[in-house]
Amino acid sequence: MKKAGRASKNKGARGERLLSAFLNSFGLHTHRGYVHCGQSDLVDLLGVHVECKFVERLNVRQAMEQAIKEADKRKDGMPTVFWKVSRRPWLTIMLTEDWVKLYKMARGKTDGRTQDVCEDNYR
């Protein structure tokens, strides 16, 4: 493997470890997947296909297309891109239709729950 290719792969793995630690700090229990074995970048985030990007510049459309293609192939959940730029917070990119589904679930509109998760977290 070329030195530049190895550095890029190592940076991607570092980003996946950072994302996993970040999500775990919220009580989610994720870990890096075995991409070469058909898993997404992070696993055990039920219903979400994770595509992790740890780069300064990102072609958002291209990254989302990759996430959609892999989520469809792996049947592991909503395609979601998690993007981190150095010294900046994580951003999450997803299809608006999927965001609406999550929002409705959080508002208790789809499964009969009445807890208003969004308001509880932002009061």
Give 20's pLDDT tier (boundaries 50, 70, 90): very high
Give 115's pLDDT tier (boundaries 50, 70, 90): very low
Q: Is residue 46 part of a domain?
A: yes
Are 78 and 48 contacting, i.e. CB atoms less than 8 angstroms apart?
A: yes
Q: Is residue 71 part of a domain?
A: yes
Give 34's pLDDT tier (boundaries 50, 70, 90): low
In the predicted model, what is the mean pLDDT of residues 96-121? 70
Q: Is residue 77 part of a domain?
A: yes
Which CATH number goes with the domain that contains 76?
A: 3.40.1350.10
Range of the domain at 63: 3-95
Are 102 and 113 contacting, i.e. CB atoms less than 8 angstroms apart?
A: no
CA distance to 8, 9, 82, per residue, from 47 (Å): 28, 26, 15
